[in-house]
Amino acid sequence: MKTRILAIHAHPDDVEILAGGTMALLAAAGHSITIVSMTPGDCGSAELSGDEIAAIRRMEAGSAAARIGAEYRCAEFRDLTIFNDDPSRRRVVEILRRTKPNLVLTSSPIDYMCDHEATSSLVRDACFAAPARNYTTRDVQAAAPLPAIPHLYFMDPVGGVDREGRPVPSDFYVDVESVFAKKTEMLSRHTSQREWLKKQHGIDDYLATMERWTRDIGERAGLKMAEGFRRYKGHPYPQSALLEELLGNHVAVTARGA
């Protein structure tokens, strides 16, 4: 059966870096995927205005998603201004109601920067609110409430570590070696970021950094390349292992269990 999957993270390129391989595997298995960035990455340039870089990054993110036949949308928040407040939650609920996901993947509750952490709590709470009929989004053409809370999973934090540099354990790991070329192809569509970092760091390390992180996570699972995930355990979110089942033998379960 085809599952509707929503991968929603803070900035254009976060989903590609942290879950691009997993998205490629799910897309190849025929599932329908929407990738949403909360912002269009409007602070991701030292030369262009916010609007100019945002326009470029929306196109790049659309192009990256298209590599696996996924749809891309931007929630049109702005960099460093994502907060878990009333209007923001209603906006995220409207996105959930329009995309009707069975399965949602979002950022880690603990991560290196504020937008990532705010996105995590916003999406978590929006999943809870999306089926509530009396929770209106004030949208002119508001979509219908979801029939139920979707399955919710957290991606790893960037680099797989918390703010103290300690490893954040995943519930399970997805072996992405077979789709690593596709993951790289997706991330390489974010040309503006690669160029920006090249200028900032003096070396072309955008793709290399992603590869190092993917190898580091792989090492934890005894794999060459991996991406890690945790299922949100809060009551009353669904607790069946939907993502693990969809990925089948690409999943390596750790001692912590899934």
We find the least distance from the C-beta atom of residue 29 to Zn ion, in angstroms, to be 27
Closest by CA to 230, choosing from 164, 146, 162, 177, is 162
Task: Name the minimum Å distance from CB 115 to Zn ion.
Answer: 6
Q: Which is nearer to Zn ion, 48 or 113 (CB)?
A: 113
CB nearer to Zn ion: give 10 or 247.
10
Nearer to Zn ion, 80 or 132 (CB): 80
Are 156 and 170 in contact by the 8 Å Cβ rule? The answer is yes
Count the helices and strands in the chain (H runs, E runs).
Answer: 8, 8
Give the binding site for Zn ion (CB under 5 A): 10-11, 14
Residue 125 CB: number of other CB atoms within 10 A? 15
Q: Nearer Cβ to Zn ion, position 213 or 252?
A: 213
Q: How far is the CB of 17 from Zn ion (least distance, A)?
A: 8
Q: Which is nearer to Zn ion, 116 or 124 (CB)?
A: 116
Q: Are 4 and 102 in contact (CB under 8 A)?
A: yes
Would you say 186 and 20 are in contact if contact means Cβ atoms under 8 Å apart? yes
Which residue's CB comes closest to Zn ion?
11
In the complex with Zn ion, which residue's Cβ is closer, 12 or 145? Answer: 12
Which single residue is written with the structure tokens 């919710």? Answer: 152
Place of tokens 């190849």: 28
Distance CA 190, CA 111 (A): 22
Shortest Å, Cβ 80 to Zn ion: 11
Three-class DSSP labels, 114-177: HHHHHHHHHHHHHHHHCCCCCCCCCCCCCCCCCCCCCEEEEECCHHHECCCCCECCCCEEEECH
> Closest by alpha carbon to 99, among 77, 136, 130, 65?
130
> What is the smallest separation between the CB atom of 217 and Zn ion, expressed in angstroms?
17
Residue nearer to Zn ion on the CB measure, 217 or 247: 217
Task: State the SS3 of 194-247.
Answer: HHHHHHHHCCCCHHHHHHHHHHHHHHHCCCCCEEEEEECCCCCCCCCCHHHHHH
CB of 2 to Zn ion, least distance (A): 29
Are 149 and 237 within 8 A, CB to CB?
yes
Minimal distance in Å, beta carbon 11 to Zn ion? Answer: 4
